[in-house]
Amino acid sequence: DFYSLLSKLLGEREDVVHVHKHNPTEKADSDLVAEIANVVQKKDLAREITNHDERDNTMLVRDRIHKFHRLESSLRPPENRHFSLQQPKRGEGSWEKEHTGDFHIEEAVEWPGLDLKLGQVSGLALDLENNLVIFHRGDHIWDENSFDSKFVYQQRGLGPIEQNTILVLNPSNAKLLHSVGKNLFYLPHGLSIDKNGNYWVTDVALHQVFKLGADDKEPLLILGVALQPGSDKNHFCQPTDVAVDPTTGSIYVSDGYCNSRIIQFSPNGLYVMQWGEETSLGRARPAQFHIPHSLALIPDFSQLCVADRENGRIQCFRLETGEFIREIKHKSFGRELFAVSYVPGGLLFAVNGKPYPGQAEPVQGFVMNFSTGEIIDTFVPLRKSFEMPHDVVASEDKTVFVGDVHARAVWKFSSTEKMEHRSVKKAGIEVQEIKESETIVEARLKNNPESTDPLKKQEKQHFVQQTSTGVSFVLITTLLIIPVVVLLAILVFIRWRKTTVYGADGEHKLDSSSGRILGRLRGKGGAGLNLGNFFASHKGYSRKGFDRLSTEGSDQEKDEDDGTDSEEECSAPPPPPAPSSS
């Protein structure tokens, strides 16, 4: 399985082995978790753990190990590996960058969709096949004459829009694939698509929310009362957007231009709860809105993020309770933030509005790290210019579409380089879907020279270890063989001398000098060699410790003894096997 593969890849890394020697329990587990997180997710997003004081924190180590085992237990079969860990509660853990470097959004200048003849583009979405879906206003426009002071639509005499307001385009060549929505709407606004492919739209003139099948001419569900603004459970006042939870089917509506609330409905359209209030004087507080304009549902974290337009910020809430979680706000947003969109894996896209007089922040698109809220990249079109970008949507391959309500245009943007790594966080956050995990890990090891260095060093160490082991074996063997050879040489010499002294018939044939020497060596025994007498005849030597050694019938016994001694000397434990380089 995937965990086993990563363990094999990382278990023998030089740095991990070093840590094992230093602290074989906590430090090893800490580094293993961190290394696995790097292989899977950098994206990433690139992450290095360099803070040794932090790694020495026992509680943090245990927390990482616990989160990792939760990650391991949530693995699915290889054909659909999508696994995630819940984020820490507010105030717990700490966030780290999810992505760094080598990622930039630029306009796809060859895309012909910019030249389409559209009305005011109010909403964008991607269907189940990643086709681009556009919600536009046809020949209707929203201007100062559209509503009275009580938000009642004043141009009902124009009738509904006669053109198809929902257009489905091929995202590559902008070819029209399908269109619906004729004679249904007055002033379209928000658009989203649920997991079943149904269209969810809002109409600010009708003050209603609609559910449409992809091929249906009539709505499947309508929320709100036509042309009647209100603030109770059954009425909306210029609702702006809809989001549908893919898990529970719950419906969330941002309401809107004249109400400052988020309303939750059951899958059947029954009122469940609401939260939010109008922004008070001074700094806007959490859960206060000044036109909640766009919604982005974050299923990975069970959160709903709202583009709080006139407060120039993003607010995120817990889906189940509506509890405020956090705010994302940057000076570069300016005074207005129109739309927000989330890509599974940790990226948040947004577009702002034109700067107020005296402000310098340009109108542009933003790519943010959802975990930290940090801006990764910004983008602007090369053809034409943003006038009032009203909605943004992005796919998992980092293709981005922006619809402009004033320019009546849709731009396509794409990433110049794919992200290499995914989200990493100290206290547990999601790990993006990986369809071919082994391939990704293998490709990373090939593409990242740093990751292969430990393996090369390991192979080098393995070679050195083998070499040193061979040298030691040869040296020991040589030292053992030398005395055996010397003894054999002495025995051969003695036998040769014996053969020389006695002829074949057994007679004594020593010359005078040889007789004197051999007689001295043989001593009183006559038939044997006594080394004690030989050495004792020389000055400074004593016979103590020397025994009589017979030269007859001793070769075989000596050879056997020598062979046994040699075998015992060479039977030292073999060198430990070299660590696997796999």
- 391 vs 74: CA distance, rounded Å: 35
The DSSP call for residue 157 is G
Report the run of H or E that residue 403 belongs to, with start and end: strand 400-404
186 is in an annotated binding site: no
- Let me know if 539 is exposed, middle or buried by CB neighbors in 10 A (0-12, 13-18, 19+): exposed
The DSSP annotation for 55-113 comes to HT-HHHHHHHHHHHHHHHHT---GGG--B--PPPPTTSS----S--SS--EEE-TT-GG
Question: What is the spatial distance between Cα 99 and Cα 432, in angstroms, rounded to a whole number?
Answer: 12
Confirm whether residue 406 is marked as ligand binding: no
End-to-end CA distance of the chain: 16
* Residue 249 CA from chain centroid, whole number: 29
- Binding site annotation covers 309? yes
The pair of structure tokens assigned to 293 is 């304009």
State the pLDDT at residue 519.
Answer: 45
d(CA 227, CA 166): 21
- Within 13 Å, how many C-alpha atoms sit on residue 287's CB side? 13
Backbone angles phi, psi at 491, to 5 degrees: -65, -40
Sequential pLDDT tens for the chain (582 residues)? 554 555 555 544 434 333 333 344 444 455 555 555 554 444 444 433 344 444 344 445 445 544 544 444 444 333 333 333 334 343 333 333 334 456 799 999 999 999 999 999 999 999 999 999 999 999 999 999 999 999 999 999 999 999 999 999 999 999 999 999 999 999 999 999 999 999 999 999 999 999 999 888 899 999 999 999 999 999 999 999 999 999 999 999 999 999 999 999 999 999 999 999 999 888 899 999 999 999 999 999 999 999 999 999 999 999 999 999 999 999 999 999 999 999 998 999 999 999 988 888 999 999 999 999 999 999 999 999 999 999 999 999 999 999 999 999 999 999 986 434 333 433 344 434 334 333 433 444 344 444 445 444 454 454 445 545 555 677 788 888 888 888 888 888 888 877 765 554 444 444 444 444 444 444 444 444 454 454 445 444 444 444 444 433 333 333 444 443 333 333 334 444 444 433
Q: What is the pLDDT of residue 83?
A: 32
Ligand-binding annotation for 104, yes or no, is: no
Rounded-to-integer distance, Cα 227 and Cα 138, Å: 19
Say which DSSP state 50 is in: -
391 is in an annotated binding site: yes
Q: 249: burial class by Cβ within 10 Å (0-12, 13-18, 19+)?
A: middle
Question: What is the dotted CATH code of the domain comprising 105-415?
Answer: 2.120.10.30
Annotated binding residue 136? no
For residues 40 and 436, the answer to whether their CB atoms sit within 8 Å is no
State how beta strands 288-289 and 277-278 pair. parallel
375/394 Cα distance (integer angstroms): 16
pTM attached to this predicted model: 0.59
List helix spans (H) across 416-573: 437-447, 449-501, 512-522, 531-536, 555-569
CB-CB neighbours of 8 under 10 Å: 11
Of all helices (H) and strands (E), which one includes residue 212?
strand 208-212
Cβ atoms within 10 A of the Cβ of 148, count? Answer: 9
Residues 6+ apart with CB under 8 A from 511: none
The per-residue pLDDT for 351 is 98
Q: Which residues of 452-487 are buried (b: 16+ CB within 10 A; e: fewer)?
A: eebbeebeeeeeeeeeeeeeeeeeeeeebeeeeeee
The token pair at 155 is 């141009």
Ligand-binding annotation for 212, yes or no, is no
Q: What share of the chain is helix, strand, coil (3-state, %, to 5)?
A: 30, 25, 45
- Please state, in angstroms and rounded to a whole number, the distance separating the CA atoms of residues 395 and 263: 27
For helices 26-41 and 58-73, angle between their N-to-C axes, nearest 10 degrees: 50
